[in-house]
Structures are given as C-alpha cells and as structure tokens.
Amino acid sequence: MTETTHFDIALIGSGSANSFPGPEFAGRSIVQIDRGVGPDQVFGGTCINLGCIPTKMFVHTADLAHTPADSARFGLTEQLRHVDWPAIRDRIFGRIDAISVGGEEYRRDHEDNANLTLLRGTARFVGPKTLQVTGNDGSEGADRTISADTIVLGAGSRPVLPSIDGLAEAAPHTSDTIMRVEQLPASLAILGSGVIAVEMAHIFASLGVEVTLIARSQQVLSSADADVSARLTEILEQRLRLEKGLSTTSVRRTGDGIELRGEQDGAEVLIRAEELLVAVGRRPNSDLLDVAAAGIDTAADGRVEVDAHQRVLGDGEVLEGLWAFGDLSSAHQLKHVANHEQRIVRHNILHPEQLRRSDTMPVPSGVFSHPQVAWVGMDEEAARRSGREVRVAVQEYASIAYGWALEDTTGFAKIIIDAQTTEILGAHLIGAEATTLIQQLIQAMSTGQTARDIATTQYWIHPAMPELIENALLQLVP
C-alpha cells in the first residue's frame, strides 16, 4: 500500500495557481502538483504557453501582414512579399519558453520555496482531501498519495475534440499545437466559429494560408451580440471561405491532407485542406481530477461548482477546506478572472473571518479577430428581456473623424442603458481597437458610474477614437 504524505496545503495547477504561494504561507507546508499543458506538458498554464499571450503575439504579426490588403483605399501600394514562419514562431516562443522553464526552476529550487514541494504529474482524487499523483514521464511525482487540510484547485481546461467519425484518428491540430507547426500549411480548415476559431482564421489567412472556417450555426461568434455577430460574419465571408450551417459527419487524413465531410442544407459537402484545426471549445479538467471521488459537485459542462467565495460545493453544501478557481470552475475563460478568483481564494484562506466574494464585477470579453470584437454586460436581447425600460445607441466608426482616417465602413459601438437611471447595462463593439475602447465602459460599470456621469463630466480628446464612445453616450443622455 502506497504511503500517504500529508501537507497543510495542496495546490493543483501552475497557471494562475502559481501566484498562490508566498511569504504569508511560510509556516505551512505546500505541495504544488502540476500536470503541465499541451503535448509537452509544460509548466506555467495555458495563458502564457498556449493561449492568450502567444496568440496575441501572432495576432499583432498578422495585423502587420494584413496591412497591404487594406492599403489601396489610402492611396498606397503595398505587397506582402515573404512570410518567414519559423522566424515568426521562434520569436514568440523563444521568449515564452524561457519564462516557463524559469518559472519551474524557481518553484523547484529557489529559497523562497523552502516550504514547497513541486510534483510534476496528474492529480486525481481517491477520497475526500486525498489525491493520487501519477507522475509525468521521468518526474519525481510518480505514484504518490497526498493528503492535505486545504486543497486549492486551479487545474484549468483543455481543448475539446468532438465525437466525429475519424476525427481523433486524423490527428488534427488544436490551439495546443497549431502555433508550433514546422511550416505553414498551404490550406487550413478550421472546425469551429467561436473566439479561438476566428482569431486563428485571422492569423493564418493574413499569413497567406487558404483558410476555410466551418461554422455549425449561421453566424460566427454566436456568444456576441446578434448585430455584432452578424457584422463579423459578413466581413469574414468577404475575406475567406466561410461554410455556415455545416454539420461535420466524418474526417479522414489522406496522403494529401484532410478530407472533411458534412451536411449543409440537406446536401453532402466535401472540404479538403492540408491541415485541420479543431477549435470548438474547451472543457474543464475536472474529469482528470476525478472530482466525483471527493464528493464534489459539477455543472453540466464539467465545471466544478463553487459558491461566491470560491468554496467548492458537494451536494449543494460547502466542502470545508476545498477551493477552486479559473477555467476549472468559472464559465468565463479569462485570465484576469482566474487571477482575481485566485486572489479571492488566497485572501479567504488567510482570513476566514473576513470572506470576500468574487462575483462583484462585470466580466468583459475581447476577440482579437480582424476587426476586433469586445463586449461587456447584457446584449440587447437580454436587456429587453430583463423587464427594464432600455435605450440603445449605435454609433458607426464611419461617423467620427478618426473613423474617416481609418476608412472604417463596418465598425460600430452599441451601448445599452437603463432609460430611467442611465445605468450602463451592456456595451458591444466591433472595429479597430475595440478591446481598448471598451475599457472605459467596463470601468464605469465596475465603479457605478452611469452613462450620464461619463458623458457629461469630462472632456474627450478630439479627434480620437474614444469619440466613438462619447457620441454613442450623447445619443442616450443628450
């Protein structure tokens, strides 16, 4: 029988979880168990290694590469003569990989972590507050049984591979692998139409790859406001091959690449591409943790159930000493949500008599497609269903001076407010720098400022892009 090693705190994960240890816990023994992310099981979590940061570094490069396609309307002639994919890839991961390696070395060897034991492996519950750790190949974590008074779960999520005939055997790419390919494929089919799919479509199309985006629904980015989703769908239809309303039935890898078959409007469709990227969503790693063995509740999508203080629930009740945060338990797969929830967990463990809530701020979304998309709060349909009397303003980029400079004929901002109080209920943007422009509305919603407050109590730079927000607000509170 394997001997059980007891710790004061067991910490699962190395993404936002990696910010948990610190001098406040110097008197407690901590074991940090990390499976790693991606096929190489690297340390540091999804955001830095496989998600937010490398994708945005690729997006910036893609934005530069796309510039010649827009140059003619400005009276310029530009050409994209060459794409050095290895140089692009290695610039990005040359920086990121060093951070991952350094982070693991720090946790394992630095004197700051004298009270911390790092185990590289997969943890799974074998009972309440008891974990079996199966080590990564060659690691010291193999076949260890761990118990702890406090267990903090920050195990994250991973890409979903849907149950489609032949898909797994075809060895498609996911966001875990597509950014590290040896060379650019001549053509790429992308299965999915959400955030990751449209960002990857922008990246690879800008770099000269023939992209086919396969959407099961009739619009891309269906989680966005309906008008924003419709506008982005129109734009992508002009830029790449967009197959809407296509239900994939089978995938095969052939000597020439990938053959994907599906049904669309009652007819069979065949799509051929050199490579396939599957980007249909992510799933929490609760199944790898076998949380049921610890009596932990999960939602229908596998998320670990927590209360507003991030305490884990079992049979609807708080399970003392168990905490969870980030993609494992949150519907919002956003790094700053995970960071905030981790800070809440940390505070609440240190100060159990002064519990804080994690659900006090609106959660925004940003999509680094071309054009960018950003939103926060209710969409128009939800706001009208809420029973409130609402007012809605739509301001086109083309209506402001800086929009003229950009020659932007498709972008707009939509702001939704309570007609009586002018409380901002939601904001939705599509266009250049949408992810930056929306921040002033996020701040207003988070601090309790109304549309009237921010529209009438400050000067706005002229002519600059924030005038888009100013003019939309002035429609609502003239």
Looking up residue 222, the CATH number of its domain turns out to be 3.50.50.60
Q: Please check whether residue 111 lies inside any domain of the structure.
A: yes
Nearest residue to 303 (alpha-carbon basis) of 326, 321, 276, 319: 326
Cis peptide before 371 (omega within 30 of 0): yes
Mean pLDDT (the chain, rounded): 96
Q: Tell me which residue of 212, 207, 220, 214 sits closest to 181, measured CA to CA.
A: 207
276 and 292 co-located in one domain: no
Query: Token pair for residue 303?
Result: 């998320």
Q: Tell whether residue 193 is among the known ligand binding residues.
A: yes
The reply to whether 269 and 333 lie within a common domain is: no
Judge whether 59 is annotated as a binding position.
Answer: no
Regarding whether 243 and 291 lie in a shared domain, the answer is no
**84 CA to centre of own chain:** 27
Is 197 a known ligand-binding residue? yes
Residue 223 and residue 304 in one domain:
no
- Number of residues that make up the chain: 478
Q: Is 94 annotated as a binding residue?
A: no
Asked whether 397 and 429 are in contact (CB, 8 A), the reply is: no
**Residue 78 falls within a domain, yes or no?**
no
Please, how many CA atoms are within 13 Å of residue 247, restricted to the half-sphere of its CB? 7
In the chain, the number of structural domains is: 3
Q: Are 342 and 17 in contact (CB under 8 A)?
A: yes
In the DSSP assignment, the letter for residue 2 is: P
Q: Which of 81, 36, 85 is nearest to 58 (CA)?
A: 85
64 inside domain: no
Verify whether residue 370 is a known catalytic residue.
no
Q: Does 129 belong to an annotated binding site?
A: no
Q: Which residues contact 333 (CB under 8 A, 6 or more apart)?
A: 157, 282, 327
Asked whether residue 456 falls in the same domain as residue 394, the answer is yes
pLDDT bin (cut points 50, 70, 90) of residue 137 is low
Q: Which two tokens stand for residue 62?
A: 């893609």
What is the signed CA dihedral for 402, 407, 411, 415, rounded to 10 degrees?
20
What's the whole-number mean pLDDT along residues 404-422? 97
pLDDT tens column, 322-340: 999 999 999 999 999 999 9
User: pLDDT digit string (tens) for 89-134?
Assistant: 999 999 999 999 999 999 999 999 999 999 999 999 999 999 999 9
For residues 13 and 154, membership in a common domain is answered with: yes
- 469 and 329 in a common domain: no
Which of 110, 332, 351, 462 is an active site residue? 462
pLDDT of res. 135: 84
Q: Over pLDDT 70: what percentage of the chain?
A: 98
pLDDT digits (tens, 9 = 90+) for 66-86: 999 999 999 999 999 999 999
60 domain-assigned: no
54 part of a folded domain:
no
423 is known to lie in a ligand binding site: no
22 is in an annotated binding site: no
Residues 114, 133 share a domain: yes
Predicted confidence (pLDDT) at residue 14 exceeds the cutoff of 70? yes
Look at residues 250, 280, 310 and tell me which one is the last residue of a structural domain: 280
Q: Per-residue confidence at 170, pLDDT binned at 50, 70, 90?
A: very high
Backbone angles phi, psi at 277, to 5 degrees: -110, 125
pLDDT score for 260: 98
Instruction: Report residue 143's pLDDT band, with 50, 70 and 90 as the boundaries.
Output: confident
Beta bridge partners of 323: 152, 311
Q: CB of 465 within 8 A of CB of 433? A: yes
Mean pLDDT of 137-151: 79
**Which domain CATH number covers 441?**
3.30.390.30
Q: For residue 83, what pLDDT is reported?
A: 97
Over its C-alpha atoms, the chain yields an Rg (Å, rounded) of 24
Query: Residue 295: how many CB atoms within 10 A of its CB?
Result: 16
Is it the case that residue 138 has pLDDT exceeding 60? no
Same domain for 324 and 403: no
341 contacts: CB under 8 Å, gap ≥ 6: 16, 310, 325, 326, 329, 330, 358
User: Cα 53 vs. chain centroid, distance in angstroms?
Assistant: 10
Q: Is 214 within 8 Å of 243 (Cβ atoms)?
A: yes
Q: Does any domain span residue 19?
A: yes
pLDDT value of residue 478: 81
- Identify the pLDDT of residue 140: 53
Do 23 and 148 lie in a common domain?
yes
Q: Is 196 annotated as a binding residue?
A: yes
Kindly report the pTM of this predicted structure: 0.95
Confidence at residue 272, expressed as pLDDT on a 0 to 100 scale: 98
Are both 256 and 302 inside the same structural domain? no
Residues 138 and 184 in one domain: no
Residue 426 among known ligand-binding residues:
no
State how far the Cα of 128 lies from the Cα of 195, in Å rounded to an integer.
Answer: 36
Q: What is the pLDDT of residue 139?
A: 54
Residue 155 in any domain: the answer is: yes
Domain ends where: 260, 280, 300? 280
What letter does residue 305 receive in the DSSP assignment? P
Is 156 annotated to bind a ligand? Reply is no
Residue 348: C-alpha distances to residues 12, 17, 113, 241, 354 (Å): 17, 15, 21, 50, 7
43 neighbors 100 (Cβ within 8 angstroms): yes
Instruction: Judge whether residue 136 has pLDDT over 90.
Output: no
Q: In the listed set 249, 280, 311, which residue is the last one of a domain according to the structure?
A: 280
Residue 142 has pLDDT above 80, yes or no: no
Has 327 been labeled as part of a binding site?
yes
Place 216 in a pLDDT band, splitting at 50, 70 and 90. very high
Can you give the residue range of the structural domain that contains 256?
168-280
Whether 126 maps to a domain, the answer reads yes
